[in-house]
Amino acid sequence: SDKAFLSYFGRLNYDCKSRYFLTINFRRDGNSSLGFDKKWGNFGGVSAGWTLSEEEFFKSLSVANTITSLKLRGSWGRVGNGNLSPYASLDLYSAGLYGASPTLAINQAGNPNLGWETGDQTNIGFDLGLLNDRLQVDFSYFNNNVNGLILSVPQAASKGIPGNSIVGNVGSLYNRGIEIAISGEVIRKAKFSWNASVNFTNVKNEVTALASEGARIVSNSSGNPFNMTQVGYSVGTLFGAVTNGVNPVNGRRIYINREGREVQYSLVVGPGEFQWSYLDGSRAAAITAADYQPLGNALPKWYGGFNNTFKYGNFDFAINFAFSGGNYVLNGNTGTWLDQRYFNNSTKVLDRWQEAGDITDVPRLVYGDNFASANIPNISAYVEKGDFLRLQNLMAGYKLPSALLSKASLTSARVYVQATNVFLFTKYTGVEPESSINGNRNTSPGIEYNSLGNGRTITVGVNLGL
């Protein structure tokens, strides 16, 4: 395969008295992956800054003794995204055999109108320095409007399109929110110091338009429609059947159909009973994908970190935390852990319904039933909050005294031990709230379904300077 990316760009910077700043940039990009007459795009932006603390009127204020630096800034820019496979816009064919006869068969349906995905982003903020810049505060508000959103658009299976999807520019969305970063020297002594920093981002993602076939793009994982992209929701919102616990009378799981009515299910039923029925016992239609509803946003609404570095003499120590939340994860493991096949089972089966009057969220266990618990893994009962706090990194080091190094012709030597992914604090009951069977696919986030969690790594090493 072959792919080409060609750019022409220029930038103009203006600085007046170290107080007023202006930058203007422009670029024209060409991408061979896009459609024949859609390969080129024009992008650029403008940014401005004002160092308010350098103004004479500010220096005369009493607050200047505390606020030692203050800069106001704002920017607007348009960027393009065309990170695609080399021949995304073309129909592709592959060779094969039909019996002994050579054949050519289509293996990708192209889109000759595939163009740039563009993002128009506005940023407004300030940089603040306190106490002789010992404490730094950065604040930004951002609003990014994405147009020509590039996604794989599902197609009807009857069309015979490979993968039942075509890559296209399907609509628009926005990401808007705030970013805050605070850093500084908490303690500064002759032998001991403590530097700390914390950052926090709050973001809202919402799809504002879709130009695809239908108003909803459904993404499948492991043969199930786990996610949807729809106007008014975030990209890759969790999608599935809505449940309402377990019927305390008979232990059957209760679902909510598209009409809002409660429907119960059991694999094995008695005389006069139906596998699918309303709570009064009358026959009901089976729950299918047509009854599925949005189950929660899978993209975090807030995230950040808290980092600390300590030094005492020749010793140094670091401890770093990461946090995230405001999103939901579909814990598909729960279904397989309750499955009545030859899978691993969880102690959660001990909470199953056993007799009339039991109040529980685990339906009665029926031999051979892989439907009430597992075969519809994307049900609201398995959706959990993905909030977590992780001890991401822990490190301790010691710098050997210089008197010991001269004999070995070394200028410096430091030994250290480090651990990553040390501990996880979360109410999520699955393996890992950040794990996903789909990796970083932007239309299918938040699905943990027999996934592996992040590994813990311990490293011991030495740094030598010659």
Residue pLDDT, tens place only, 416-451? 999 999 999 999 998 889 888 876 677 889 998 877
Confidence of residue 408 (pLDDT cuts 50, 70, 90): confident
Least confident of 51-60, 167-176, 437-446: 437-446
pLDDT at 454 over 90: no
pLDDT at 346 over 90: no
Q: Give 273-282 pLDDT, tens digit per residue.
A: 899 999 999 9
pLDDT at 311 over 70: yes
In the chain, the percentage of residues whose pLDDT exceeds 70 is 97
The answer to whether 39 and 103 are in contact (CB under 8 A) is no
pLDDT at 203 over 80: yes
Choose from 153-157, 198-202, 399-403 the range with maximum mean pLDDT: 198-202
pLDDT, greater one: 438 or 167: 167
pLDDT at 213 over 60: no
> Using H for helix, E for strand and C for coil, what is the string for the chain?
CCCCEEEEEEEEEEEECCCEEEEEEEEEEEECCCCCCCCEEEEEEEEEEEEHHHCHHHHCCHHHHCEEEEEEEEEEEEEEECCCCCCCCCCEEEEEEECCEEEEEEEECCCCCCCCEEEEEEEEEEEEEECCCCEEEEEEEEEEEEECCEEEEECCHHHCCHHHEEEEECEEEEEEEEEEEEEEEEEECCCEEEEEEEEEEEEEEEEEEECCCCCEEEEEECCEEEEEEECCCCCCEEEEEEEEEECCCCCCEEEECCCCCEEEECCCCCCCCCCEEECCCCECCCCCHHHCEEEECCCCCEEEEEEEEEEECCEEEEEEEEEEECCEEEECHHHHHCCCCCCCCCHHHHHECCCCCCCCCECCCCCCCCHHHHHCCCEHHHEEECCEEEEEEEEEEEECCHHHHHHHCCCEEEEEEEEEEEEEECCCCCCCCCCCCCCCCCCCCCEECCCCCCCCEEEEEEEEEC
Confidence of residue 14 (pLDDT cuts 50, 70, 90): very high
Query: What pTM was computed for the model?
Result: 0.86
Confidence of residue 37 (pLDDT cuts 50, 70, 90): very high
pLDDT at 330 over 80: yes
Confidence of residue 466 (pLDDT cuts 50, 70, 90): confident
The answer to whether 7 and 41 are in contact (CB under 8 A) is no
What phi, psi does 98 have (nearest 5°)?
A: -115, 95
Residue 461 half-sphere exposure toward CB, CA atoms < 13 A: 8
Mean pLDDT (the chain) is 90
Confidence of residue 378 (pLDDT cuts 50, 70, 90): confident
Confidence of residue 212 (pLDDT cuts 50, 70, 90): low
Instruction: State mean pLDDT over 337-352.
Output: 79
Cβ within 8 Å of residue 435, ≥6 positions away: 448, 451, 452, 453, 454
Instruction: State mean pLDDT over 125-136.
Output: 93
Instruction: State mean pLDDT over 251-262.
Output: 94
Confidence of residue 111 (pLDDT cuts 50, 70, 90): very high
Question: What is the reported pLDDT for 367?
Answer: 78
User: Of 139, 288, 150, which Cα lies nearest the Cα of 217?
Assistant: 150
Question: What is the reported pLDDT for 219?
Answer: 84
Both structure tokens of 253: 């799981």
Q: Give 64-74 pLDDT, tens digit per residue.
A: 889 999 999 99
Confidence of residue 376 (pLDDT cuts 50, 70, 90): low
pLDDT at 221 over 80: no
> Following CA atoms 72, 78, 81, 82 in sequence, which dihedral angle do they give, to the nearest 10 degrees?
-150
Q: How far apart are CA 26 and CA 8, in angstroms?
A: 8
Confidence of residue 336 (pLDDT cuts 50, 70, 90): confident
Confidence of residue 314 (pLDDT cuts 50, 70, 90): very high
pLDDT at 214 over 60: no
